[in-house]
Chains A and B, each alone.
Chain A
Amino acid sequence: MSFNVLIVDDSSSMRAVIKRTIKLSGFDVGEYFEAEDGREALELLSNKWVDIVLSDINMPNMTGMELIAEMKKNELLSSIPVILVTTEGSEKKIQESIRLGANKYIKKPFFPEEIIKALRSLMGEEVCDVRGDDESNASGDF
């Protein structure tokens, strides 16, 4: 069964990179949702079915940490796994985010394989044995 992804980052290019990475994973993604900050993400979560969230931490209006805290307060949202993809790399921030309820933590800059590995561990190895594609963005020649 396909699943829906929400990507939260104030950089539209970074959102595009994360989206493309997930397309390469081979997972059967139904819909991709995007939000510029935690507040927009929360609004989206309240009226769309989302199976997994990938979020930055430092964003205007509502940070990734605040988003997780809000999700945990909400019965319907508290079980949605959250992968933080962020420049924040201090041990202190990592521990804090795990304590708040983040499932995985990926530091920018990252290799696409790191995101794919995190998704696999949360959504199941057996779900994608074959690499996906991103026909809309193919600019290569092999």
Chain B
Amino acid sequence: MSEEMMKAMHQAISDVMNKMFFLSLQINEKALALSEWFSGKHPLVGATINFTGPSSGYSYLLIPAEVAREITANFLGVSEKAISEKQEKDTVKEALNMIAGRMFSQFDAKGAFQTGIPELINESGLVAGQLDSFNNGAIFIETEHSHMAAGIVMKQVDRL
């Protein structure tokens, strides 16, 4: 992931989580391993969204279930008691949809990239043992009471 893309991703995460989910965030520059980052915070909810264009890959978002509940309640403007698991999962997908969209809006003014439809990550993909394969390029996010993570995985690298 280029530095420009990373910067745009940081800004997008902040903009979206602030504006639509009312979360104040801080990026943690020191964390290194997703398994450690989410230790004690399982179960997680996660989503991915593909993109194509000059390069292709996918973007992902990982959130502890309790934070997913919180952001869903904030998003819908209702109490946490009133929301369903279905709504939580849908909200996490939509959060990533907005983050990826916002990131490419900033990074890709010409509209060369195309994002797909967000999908949930299977539970088996979210266990601690699986997470560390995404450590490279992961963005470690602190919320006021918990952690999140997001990132971009490139499938192809353009060679000049």
Residues of A within 8 A of B (CB): 10-14, 16-17, 20, 58-60, 86-93, 107-111, 134, 137, 139
Contacts and interface: CB of A to CB of B under 8 A. Distances in A.
A89 B105 contact: yes
Contacts of A93: 111
Chain A interface mostly: loop
A109 B115 contact: no
Interface stretch (B33-41, B71-79, B151-159): B71-79
User: Top 6 closest A-B pairs, CB basis?
Assistant: A87-B101, A89-B105, A90-B111, A92-B111, A109-B19, A11-B94
A86 B101 contact: yes
Nearest to B87: A13
B101 A110 contact: no
B117 A109 contact: no
B149 interface: no
Contacts of B109: 90-91
Contacts of A89: 101-102, 104-106
A134 B16 CA distance: 24
Nearest to B116: A58
Q: Which of A14, A88, A90 has the most CB of B within 10 A?
A: A90
Q: Which of A59, A93, A109, A110 has the most CB of B within 10 A?
A: A109
B48 to A, nearest CB: 15
A95 B39 CA distance: 46
B105 A109 contact: no
B90 A12 contact: yes
Given A87-B115, A91-B109, A111-B19, A17 B97 contact: no
Contact of A20 (B77, B108, B115): B77
Contact of B93 (A11, A59, A60, A109): A11
B92 to A, nearest CB: 9
Given A87-B102, A90-B105, A92-B110, A13 B90 contact: yes
Interface in B77-105: 77-79, 82, 86-87, 90-91, 93-94, 97-98, 100-102, 104-105
14 contacts: A10-B117, A11-B94, A13-B91, A14-B94, A17-B75, A20-B77, A58-B97, A58-B116, A86-B101, A87-B98, A87-B102, A89-B102, A108-B102, A109-B19
